[in-house]
Structure 1
Amino acid sequence: MNKQVLIAGGGIGGLATAIAAARSDWDVRLFERAAQFSEVGAGIQLGPNVIRCLQAWGLQRPLQQVIASPTALRACSAVSGQELGRLPLGSEIVHRYGAAYATIHRADLHSLLLAALQQQSQVHLNLQQSVLSYTDQEGVITIRTDAGKLIEGDALIGADGVRSAVRAQMLGDGPPRVTGHLAYRAMVHQAQLPKRLRTGEVTAWLGPQLHAIQYPVRRGELQNLVVIVSGPAPDDLDHWDHSANLPDLLQHLKGVCGYLQDLVQHVPEAGGEWRLWPVADRVPLSSAAQMAQGLVALVGDAAHPMRPYLAQGAGMAIEDAAELQRALSMHDLDVSLRLRRYALNRWQRNARVQERSLRNGRIFHATGPMRWGRDLSLRALGGRIMDVPWLYDGEN
Structure 2
Amino acid sequence: MAQDLPVLIAGAGIGGLSTAIALGRAGINATVLERSTFAEESGAGIQLGPNATRILRSLGVLDVLLPQTFRPEAVWLFDGLSGRRLATVPLGDHAEQRYGAPYLTLHRADLHAGLRTAAEAASAVSLSSGFDVSGIEARDGITIANLDGTTIEGSSLIGADGLWSTVRKWVAPEAALSYAGATAFRTLLPRKGLPAPFSAPVIGLWLSPKAHLVHYPVHAGGALNVVAVTAGGRKAQGWNQTADPSSLLSGFTRWCKESKSLLERAEGWRAWSLFSLPALPRWSRGAVTLVGDAAIPCCPISPKARRRHRGRRHAREIFRRRPQRPRHAFRTYENARRPRATRLKNTARRLGRIYHLRGPARLARNTALGLRSETATLRQFDWLYGVD
TM-score (norm 1): 0.93
Distance in 2 separating the partners of 1:103 and 1:240: 20
Quick one: structure 1 residues 334 and 263, their matched pair in 2 at CA, closer, same or farther if it must change by over 3 Å?
same
TM alignment of 1:376-391, pairs within 5 A: 376-383=367-374, 384-387=376-379, 388-391=381-384
> Is the Cα–Cα contact under 8 Å of residues 24 and 123 in structure 2 kept in the other structure?
no
SS in 2 for 1:206: strand
SS in 1 for 2:363: helix
Distance in 2 separating the partners of 1:2 and 1:105: 37
One-letter code of the match for 1:44?
I
**Cα distance per residue 1:247-282 (max 9 Å; x no partner):** 2222111111111111111122xxxx2111111121
TM alignment of 1:260-271, pairs within 5 A: 260-268=259-267
Q: Does 1:247 align with 2:242?
A: no
Cα drift, residue 147 of structure 1: 2.2
Distance in 1 separating the partners of 2:128 and 2:162: 17
Distance in 1 separating the partners of 2:308 and 2:62: 18
Distance in 2 separating the partners of 1:220 and 1:173: 44
Cα drift, residue 323 of structure 1: 1.1
- The equivalent of 2:16 in structure 1 is 14
Quick one: structure 1 residues 209 and 386, their matched pair in 2 at CA, closer, same or farther if it must change by over 3 Å?
farther
One-letter code of the match for 2:269?
W
Distance in 1 separating the partners of 2:41 and 2:31: 20
- The equivalent of 2:343 in structure 1 is 352
**Cα distance per residue 1:84-113 (max 9 Å; x no partner):** 110111111111111111101000000000
- The equivalent of 1:170 in structure 2 is 171
Alignment match of 1:282 (pick from 277, 286, 295)? 277
Distance in 2 separating the partners of 1:308 and 1:277: 11
- The equivalent of 2:289 in structure 1 is 297
Alignment match of 1:111 (pick from 113, 122, 137)? 113
> Is the Cα–Cα contact under 8 Å of residues 13 and 314 in structure 1 kept in the other structure?
no
- The equivalent of 2:72 in structure 1 is 70
Structure 1's consecutive aligned runs of 4 or more residues displaced over 3 angstroms after TM superposition are 192-197
**Cα distance per residue 1:147-185 (max 9 Å; x no partner):** 211211111000001110100111013431211111011
> Is the Cα–Cα contact under 8 Å of residues 300 and 314 in structure 1 kept in the other structure?
no
> Is the Cα–Cα contact under 8 Å of residues 178 and 233 in structure 1 kept in the other structure?
no
**Cα distance per residue 1:361-384 (max 9 Å; x no partner):** 111111122212211110111532
Distance in 1 separating the partners of 2:263 and 2:65: 29
Cα drift, residue 117 of structure 1: 0.5
Quick one: structure 1 residues 39 and 178, their matched pair in 2 at CA, closer, same or farther if it must change by over 3 Å?
farther
Cα drift, residue 193 of structure 1: 3.4
Cα drift, residue 37 of structure 1: 2.5
SS in 2 for 1:204: strand
Cα drift, residue 333 of structure 1: 5.8
- The count of corresponding residues between Structure 1 and Structure 2 is 384
> Is the Cα–Cα contact under 8 Å of residues 2 and 25 in structure 1 kept in the other structure?
no
> Is the Cα–Cα contact under 8 Å of residues 52 and 308 in structure 2 kept in the other structure?
no
- The equivalent of 1:231 in structure 2 is 232
* Backbone CA RMSD of aligned residues: 1.7
> Is the Cα–Cα contact under 8 Å of residues 193 and 266 in structure 1 kept in the other structure?
no
SS in 1 for 2:121: coil
SS in 1 for 2:321: coil
> Is the Cα–Cα contact under 8 Å of residues 5 and 153 in structure 2 kept in the other structure?
no
Unpaired runs of 5+ residues, structure 2, are none
Cα drift, residue 334 of structure 1: 1.7
Cα drift, residue 201 of structure 1: 0.3
SS in 1 for 2:127: strand
TM-score (norm 2): 0.94
One-letter code of the match for 1:251?
S
One-letter code of the match for 2:383?
W
> Is the Cα–Cα contact under 8 Å of residues 43 and 240 in structure 2 kept in the other structure?
no
> Is the Cα–Cα contact under 8 Å of residues 84 and 382 in structure 1 kept in the other structure?
no
Quick one: structure 1 residues 219 and 37, their matched pair in 2 at CA, closer, same or farther if it must change by over 3 Å?
same
Distance in 2 separating the partners of 1:332 and 1:55: 24
TM alignment of 1:100-179, pairs within 5 A: 100-138=102-140, 140-179=141-180
> Is the Cα–Cα contact under 8 Å of residues 36 and 127 in structure 1 kept in the other structure?
yes
- The equivalent of 2:312 in structure 1 is 321
Cα drift, residue 299 of structure 1: 0.4
Distance in 1 separating the partners of 2:323 and 2:9: 22
Larger deviation, residues 327-336 vs 92-101:
327-336
SS in 1 for 2:94: helix
Cα drift, residue 207 of structure 1: 0.8
SS in 2 for 1:366: coil
Alignment identity in percent?
Answer: 33
> Is the Cα–Cα contact under 8 Å of residues 51 and 307 in structure 2 kept in the other structure?
no
**Cα distance per residue 1:114-140 (max 9 Å; x no partner):** 0001101222211111112212223x1
Distance in 1 separating the partners of 2:338 and 2:82: 40
Distance in 1 separating the partners of 2:15 and 2:221: 25
> Is the Cα–Cα contact under 8 Å of residues 199 and 216 in structure 1 kept in the other structure?
no
Distance in 1 separating the partners of 2:203 and 2:231: 22
Distance in 2 separating the partners of 1:386 and 1:373: 20
**Cα distance per residue 1:190-210 (max 9 Å; x no partner):** 125346642310010001111
- The equivalent of 1:257 in structure 2 is 256
